[in-house]
Amino acid sequence: MKMNLPEQILNYRPEIGLILGSGLGFFADDRIEVAGRLPYEDIEGFPVSTVPGHAGQFVYGELHGKRVLCMQGRFHYYEGYTMAQLTLPIRLMHRVGVKTLIVTNAAGGLNRDFSPGDFMLINDHINFFGTNPLIGPCSEDELRFPDMSAVYDSELREGLREWAAVNGQDLQEGVYLATTGPSFETPAEIRAFATLGADAVGMSTVPEAIVARQLGLRVLGISCITNAAAGISQEPLTHEEVFETAVRVRPQFADLLAAAVSVC
């Protein structure tokens, strides 16, 4: 998919890309020394965010002396976008110089040791979208069959684990499973996903991580466990609950994500 690279971002030469999930967009305003903002709607051919809690703009600036490009709001398959459209930001990041991608999400907890408000370092994923963002034409400078045996960078994970241990931050670790949404999962689906080895479930992240690895970016993934999944929780699941939990843990999340940038 063709796109024109925004000159203001290209000239800034960001090193690290950040994708902020539902209810987590505050980080760009609270922690980044902002150099500029660019609404998605100002980029020709770019999708726009349609989900509450996703502001819909790039924010770029410095954090811990590193130039970061932050997605304040992402795109989802359930919004009606194609895989090519929702991963377009990753290709843009790569073309403007980003070498490392930190991707976050709000997720339901399948692991019964997890509680709402926990953070999970993603060590692997299961693609349950029923499709793949790499389907279709492949340019000469892209891998047709990229290896996915180590999507989430082990050195970056180790660095963040060490920071968490020193600073008394509880940090879970596990496998993230992605579905299309937008409906939440049934109790039977949750039991099936747990049997497959998933620790958390959500509706994003995996397509972005796959494309990032195809392009040679290092990837670090963090889930905010915002609710217990269906059949584990006895309460009906709502997007409002997801957002409220993310807001409740925003100071801890901000510290963790800032630390993630520092270890890159």
Catalytic sites, residue numbers:
22, 54, 76, 78-79, 106, 203-204, 227, 239
Produce one character per residue of 94-108: b if its CB has 16 or more CB atoms within 10 Å, e if not: bebebebbbbbbbbb
Query: Residue 248 contacts by C-beta under 8 Å, 6 or more apart in sequence?
Result: 117
Q: Taking a C-beta distance cutoff of 8 angstroms, is the pair 249, 225 a contact?
A: no
* Cα 39 to Cα 256: distance, rounded to the nearest angstrom: 26
* Cα 257 to Cα 187: distance, rounded to the nearest angstrom: 31
Q: Taking a C-beta distance cutoff of 8 angstroms, is the pair 248, 162 a contact?
A: no
Kindly list the distances between the CA atom of residue 136 and the CA atoms of 82, 131, 133, 139, 181, in Å, as whole numbers in the listed order. 12, 11, 8, 10, 23
70 forms beta bridges with: 18, 59
* Cα 20 to Cα 22: distance, rounded to the nearest angstrom: 7
Rounded to 5 degrees, φ, ψ at 220 are: -125, 130
Q: Which two tokens stand for residue 237?
A: 């699941």
Q: Taking a C-beta distance cutoff of 8 angstroms, is the pair 109, 115 a contact?
A: yes
